[in-house]
A and B are shown apart, each in its own frame.
Chain A
Amino acid sequence: MLLVARHLTKRYRRATSDFAAVDQVDLELGEKDFFCITGHSGSGKSTLLNLIAGFLAPDEGTVLLDGEKLSALDDVAASYLRNTQIGYIPQGSGVLANFTVGDNVRLPFYLHRRMGDPAQRAQTLLEQMGIAHLANQYPAQLSGGELRRVSIARALINKPCLLLADEPTSDLDPDAREAVMELFSAIARAGTAVLVVTHEQENLRHATRHLIMASGRLSGA
Chain B
Amino acid sequence: MLPAGRLTLFRIAIINILRRPARSLCLAGVVALLAFVLIGGSLLANSLSNGAANMADRLGADALIVPAGYEYDVEGALLRGEPSSFYLSGDLVYRLMQLAGIKQASPQLFIATFASSHCSFPVQMIGYDPQTDFVIVPWLSQSLPAGLPDGEVVVGSSIKGMVGDTLMFFGRDYPVVGKLEATGTGFDTSVFVNMTTARVALGDYVKLGGLMNVPSDDANAVSSITVQIEPGYDRATFTRSVRAGFRDEGVGVVLTQRLIGSVSSGLDVLLGIIVVLISFLWILSIGVLALLFTLSLGERRREFAVFRALGAARHQIALLVLIESALISLGGALVGTALVSLVYLSFSPLIGISIEMPYLQPAAPVIALLLVVGLLASSVTGPLAALFTALKTGRQATASLFKAGE
Contact = CB atoms under 8 A, between A and B. Distances in A.
Interface of A: 41, 46-47, 50, 53, 55-56, 75-76, 79-80, 82-84, 86, 88, 90-92, 94-100, 102-103, 106-112, 117, 119, 122-123, 126, 135-136, 154, 158, 166-167
Interface residues of B, number: 32
Contacts of A86: 311
B297 to A, nearest CB: 15
Contacts of A109: 7
Interface in B384-406: 398-400, 402-404, 406
Interface of B: 1-4, 6-8, 12, 15-16, 19-20, 303, 305-316, 398-400, 402-404, 406
Contacts of A90: 305-306, 309, 399, 402
Given A94-B309, A110-B6, A75 B314 contact: yes
A98 B19 contact: yes
For the complex of A and B, list the 8 residue pairs with the smallest distance between their C-beta atoms, beginning with the closest.
A83-B311, A79-B313, A98-B19, A110-B7, A90-B402, A102-B2, A55-B400, A50-B400
A100 B404 contact: no
A158 B3 CA distance: 18
A86 B309 CA distance: 9
A64 B188 CA distance: 83
A50 B2 contact: no
Contact of B404 (A41, A88, A103, A119): A41
A108 B308 CA distance: 10
Nearest to A74: B313
A100 B315 CA distance: 24
Contacts of A154: 310
A91 B406 contact: yes
Given A109-B7, A126-B2, 7 more contacts: A53-B309, A82-B309, A94-B402, A98-B16, A110-B7, A119-B4, A154-B310
Given A90-B402, A135-B2, A79 B311 contact: yes
Contacts of B311: 79-80, 82-84, 86, 108, 111-112, 158
Given A53-B399, A55-B399, A91-B402, A100 B3 contact: yes
Contact of A76 (B2, B19, B315, B404): B315
